[in-house]
Amino acid sequence: MFEGLWGYEHPLSGQFRRLEEELDAVFGSGASLTGTRNIRSLPAGSFPAVNIASTPEALLVYLFAPGLDAKAFDISMQQNLLSISGAREISLDDAATYYRRERFSGEFRRTINLPDDADPERVEAKYANGILTLRIGRRESARPRQIEVR
């Protein structure tokens, strides 16, 4: 990264690498001094990954949580906060030596701040193929209304 014209490493480059590692630990691996980004946009330990989409009629929340039972999710919505929690247990082979373990095991919680027009009375949830899909209707009073001019 900080090699000079003569092919040696500058004495400060080790300190910059250490600073970069510390930034990665604090802000996730997407923050970097070199400008390179990791393929993941989530900080380490975030589970499940979430996509949120919006249509004029509803908000669509997709949680990518393969290998769970649909009953494992605890979903609640209070005011504009959507909370999704649960637990995932990963069985390990006691005879194996693990050099890297990236699958999270244990309890998880994701809290999502929704727009003001999210209607807690109009929520549908389904879990299929490892994806929890929530459809949250928008309040009728907040939806745009077409006004005809005569």
Is 75 a domain residue? yes
Confidence of residue 72 (pLDDT cuts 50, 70, 90): confident
- Look-up of token digits 């769970």: 68
**pTM: predicted TM-score of the whole model, two decimal places:** 0.63
Q: Are 72 and 114 contained in the same domain?
A: yes
The pLDDT assigned to 31 comes to 47
* Residues 50/62, Cβ–Cβ less than 8 Å: yes
Q: Are 94 and 53 contained in the same domain?
A: yes
Provide mean pLDDT across the span 18-32: 66
Q: Are 27 and 53 contained in the same domain?
A: no
Q: What is the CATH number of the domain that holds 69?
A: 2.60.40.790
Provide mean pLDDT across the span 112-120: 91
State the total domains in the chain: 2
The domain in which residue 79 lies consists of: 49-142
Is 148 a domain residue? no
Higher pLDDT, 90 or 84: 84
Closest CA to 74 of 83, 62, 65, 61: 83
